[in-house]
Amino acid sequence: MKDFEDSPSALVADVDCTADGKALCDANGVRGYPTIKYGDPTSLEDYQGGRDYDTLKKFAEDNLKPMCGPANIDLCDEDKKKEINKFLDMDEAELEKLIKAEEKKLESAEEDFKKEVQKLQEKYQELSKEKDEKLAAVKEAGLGLMKSCAAAAKKKKESKDEL
């Protein structure tokens, strides 16, 4: 944070999501710690790179600067400018409707993911129980006794061989 404290365009900060920053973290989809986000404050992206100082510093130097967007449309290519202008020209209610529809897709994807993870968890528990039952059956069939007998026979043979 100290390396960027005087930057006119880059903000590097930490937020305690378990205390005063909880609302900010919830609003930005932070679900685990540590989480690193970057980009436009109204549309933060998840950082997926390395976590060592040099990697983070290089990423910040390369990416924490004005970027293409409504506030810096001059930094955008023609296609992105058209897309931004299309949204800027929309009626506010229409744009909000589109935003809600896209957010609904995100929520749906998250719900589907949670449901499938739950199914996997249930399958894991089922397989774990089956494995435990099979292991118990093998042990009950005398595996331990067989191993003891094999060791005793080997020991007996070795003692005869020494004579």
Task: Give how many domains the chain has, as a whole number.
Answer: 1
Higher local confidence (pLDDT), 30 or 147: 147
Residue 134 maps to a domain: no
Q: Is the pLDDT of residue 162 over 70?
A: no
User: Which of 9 and 1 is assigned the larger pLDDT?
Assistant: 1
**Where do runs of H (alpha helix) occur along the chain?**
22-27, 53-63, 78-89, 92-140, 143-162
In a domain, 125, yes or no: no
* Window from 49-58, 84-93, 106-115 with minimum mean pLDDT: 49-58
Give the pLDDT of residue 163.
59
Q: Which has more pLDDT, 114 or 10?
A: 114
pLDDT > 90: what percent of the chain?
A: 51
Q: Is the pLDDT of residue 113 over 90?
A: yes
Residue, of 33 and 93, whose pLDDT is higher: 93
| Tens digit of each residue's pLDDT (9 = 90 or more) over 27-42 | 888 888 788 888 877 7
**Residue 162 included in any domain:** no
Residue 85 lies in a domain: no
Gap between the Cα atoms of 50 and 34, Å rounded: 12
Look up the domain containing 38 and give its range. 1-66
The answer to whether residue 132 is domain-embedded is: no
Higher pLDDT, 100 or 69: 100
pLDDT in tens, 51-77: 888 998 888 888 888 888 898 899 999
In a domain, 100, yes or no: no
- If phi > 0 it is left, if psi is from -120 to 50 it is alpha, else beta; for residue 40 that is beta
CA distance 9 to 47: 18
* Within a domain: 9: yes
Q: How far apart are CA 77 and CA 81, in angstroms?
A: 6
Give residue 138's pLDDT. Answer: 93
137 occurs within a structural domain = no
pLDDT at 35: 85
Q: How far apart are CA 90 and CA 118, in angstroms?
A: 40
Average pLDDT over residues 146-161: 89
